[in-house]
Each structure stands twice: as C-alpha cells, then as structure tokens.
Structure 1
C-alpha cells in the first residue's frame, strides 16, 4: 500500500511500502484503551501491521520493610489481573476475527511509562496508539501522566485517543 511521507510541510512524497508494521496498544482496562484498540485494528488491517497489546501491572513500594529493604507489593489484586488476562484473550479473538496478527504481554514494574518506552524500543514498535485517561485531580483537563510521558519519550509516533 502506498503511503505519503512528509519530511516537512513542503516536502512530501509517495512511498510504496508502509512504515507502519508493528502497532502497540498500552492497555489499562479503561474505555480510552478500548477506543485505542478499535483504531489500532482499523489501521493494522489497512497497513497489514501486527498489533501488540501491553498491560503493565504496577508494583508499589510498601511502607513495610523486609531485611532492610522496602517490600514490593503488586498494585493490583489477583482478580484485577485475571480480568486483564481475560480482556487480552478477548482482544486476541477480535484481532484474529479480522485476520490481524496479535500478541499481548503483561509486565510487572514500578514505572509504567518507563516500562512502555523500554518495550517500544526493545520490540522496535513503529506506531503506538493509546488512551489518554488521566487519574489526577484535573483528569478532565489534562492528559494522563503515562500517556504524556510515552508521547514525549517514545522513539516512534504516538497517537492519543480519548
């Protein structure tokens, strides 16, 4: 499929192959992430790209100490983790229904944005589509901390979806 690539607003050209081959969707079980998934399927079908859905299970450093070091506790209960696993399986079924190559991964980490950025680099992802859910006090007025960090620091284009 031909694609138009612009180096600048006055320097665009048609290229014969798509530069979008690996699309990543960070998944946090939000409506915004589901919206991003639908758009990712649309673009993957159009460009013949694969889709990878990544869910980062956040580890929190608790106030308790074990052997002189802070203990780590998973930030999500087992039920929440199982719910995410079920959603990832359902997402895979939907992607396969449309003939789209799909894989998913769950990562446990203390830093969600840093983990996503590392994943993007390591897997050579060339396009990220993610929700914009903010969890802060002014969530209606601002992008989420994770989506902002990924958009600013990823080495590929990032499309934010609400």
Structure 2
C-alpha cells in the first residue's frame, strides 16, 4: 500500500529508532512525504505552593541530549527527498495526534514503548492512546 504522508514518532528510544527506520522504508516511494515528530514534554512539578524549576545546567544537558536526538533522526532520513523533522511540545500522544491531523498524515508509525515502564505506568501508554484516538492507521513497531 502506498502512503502520501507518513508521520514517525521518535523519542530516541531503541524501539522508536526501529519505528523510524520502518517509516523510512515505507516513505521511500515516489511522492511520499515523511515527517519525523519529536515531542518535547517537560511536565510541571508543583505541590500546593511548592514548585520545581530545572537548574540551568540541567536544562543545558537536556538541550544537548535533544539536539543529539534530532541529529540522529536527520541522519536516518537524509536520503529521502520529501522529509522533515517537526519538534512538537506538550503531552506526547496529544501532540502526535494533532500534528498528524494538521498535516493530513495517512499513517502514523511509532514504537510500542518509549522511555520505559515507569513513565508508562505514571502517564499511560502513548502508543496505546494514539492507537485509540488516531483518525488514520497506526503501525506499532516492536
């Protein structure tokens, strides 16, 4: 089946890299566009009058890490003529779904798990939420 616009969700995890590589194979067709979506999500930590501000040194390390993820994604899509990287913000599942709808994507490709079981337990599975709410097909890569 040929797709016109594939969105690959990428968070730097090993399974998201596998999903990105699968999306590259699917998008390697005449006229197909690939968008790699990386979501920046930093939840606010606050408890009744107390808050947490990330120290500047930690913010710099996070920025370096995220820049490295973007470079890795750019390497993976370098040979595709119609490809781009979109850096999104907000809750990951919501950001992915909204971007896929806004860009008229006809397939979302993502890994089955991202940053680990603790985050999944605390926030709910991003891939599960996307599968349940997407208006287009979703390919989950293990």
Quickly name the TM-score band, shorter chain normalised: 0.7 to 0.9
Cα distance in 2 for partners of 1:116, 1:127 equals 12
Segment of structure 1 superposing worse, 42-51 or 124-133: 42-51
Q: Which residue does the alignment assign to 1:103?
A: 84
Name the larger-Rg structure: 1
Does structure 1 residue 90 correspond to structure 2 residue 58?
no
Does structure 1 residue 44 correspond to structure 2 residue 7?
no
- Check conservation: 2:27, 2:33, Cα contact below 8 A: yes
Shift of 1:84: 2.6
Q: Which has the higher helix share?
A: 2
* Gap change, CA 1:161 and 1:124, over 3 Å in 2: same
Q: Which residue does the alignment assign to 2:100?
A: 120
* Gap change, CA 1:22 and 1:56, over 3 Å in 2: same
Map 1:1-162 → 2, pairs under 5 A: 3=1, 18=2, 20-46=3-29, 48-63=31-46, 77-97=59-79, 99-109=80-90, 111-133=91-113, 135-136=116-117, 145-162=125-142
Cα distance in 2 for partners of 1:73, 1:50 equals 39
Aligned-residue RMSD, C-alpha: 2.7
Any gaps of 5 or more consecutive residues in structure 2? none
Aligned residues: 134
Cα distance in 1 for partners of 2:17, 2:104 equals 23
Larger relative CO (CA 8 A, sep 6+): 1 or 2?
2
Any gaps of 5 or more consecutive residues in structure 1? 4-17
Q: Which residue does the alignment assign to 1:15?
A: none
- Check conservation: 2:46, 2:52, Cα contact below 8 A: no
Shift of 1:47: 5.4
TM-score by length of 1: 0.70
TM-score by length of 2: 0.78
